[in-house]
Amino acid sequence: MSKATNRDPGAELREAARAGSGAAEEMARRFAEHAAAEGALDVAYASADSPFGPILLAATDRGLVKVGLPNQDPDSVLEELARAISPRMLEVPGELDQARRELDLYFEGRLREFEVPLDWRLSRGFRRKVLRATARLPYGTTASYAEMAARAGSARAFRAAGSALGSNPIPIVVPCHRVLRGGGALGGYGGGLEMKESLLKLEGALR
């Protein structure tokens, strides 16, 4: 995502529209890939399958920045990204290949640690500290909100830690599902408690 060119970004798409639907799809794909290569976009996004339904993935040149869960409206997620980062967005599945491949392996029970680069810009301050600490929670383990607050540097701020986890922009990859209430109760989860329970069972953290 380097410096953009002076080419008319609509020219190829207008040519594609004249060429017919099949050619239009191919030209749109080529245009998206060219825009990504030339730095004419700030956010690339793509849909990915999951056992719970389709999820939306978005990335910048820094890394994966957003995971939209199946119960979240994709258009609303994209609107949020346009406001928070940039309206220069395109659907470019190739830019999300690593994230989609790792998620597939995770859901198959064949991946325990994500390696895809992350962009933390949608969280700041104490929230980011909580999420970074959460990203280090090992596969198949759990911790409490109070423990995560302590690991982020403020043991008494367990409510703020819960708020940070509830607004986690990169769920699954940053495994907020591994954080429970004191006493082992599930607590909340952006994707719903059924999804949280399923993820913990997948990892063997819940029987």
Residues 106/113, Cβ–Cβ less than 8 Å: no
Q: Are strands 55-59 and 64-68 parallel, antiparallel or unpaired?
A: antiparallel
From 176, 179, 180, 205, the catalytic residue: 176
Active site residue 176: yes
CA-to-CA distance for 78 and 154, rounded, in angstroms? 33
Residues in the chain: 207
The terminus-to-terminus CA distance of the chain in angstroms comes to 44
Structure tokens at 38: 């030339």
**Closest among 134, 132, 113 to 187, alpha carbons compared:** 134
Which residues are catalytic, by number? 176
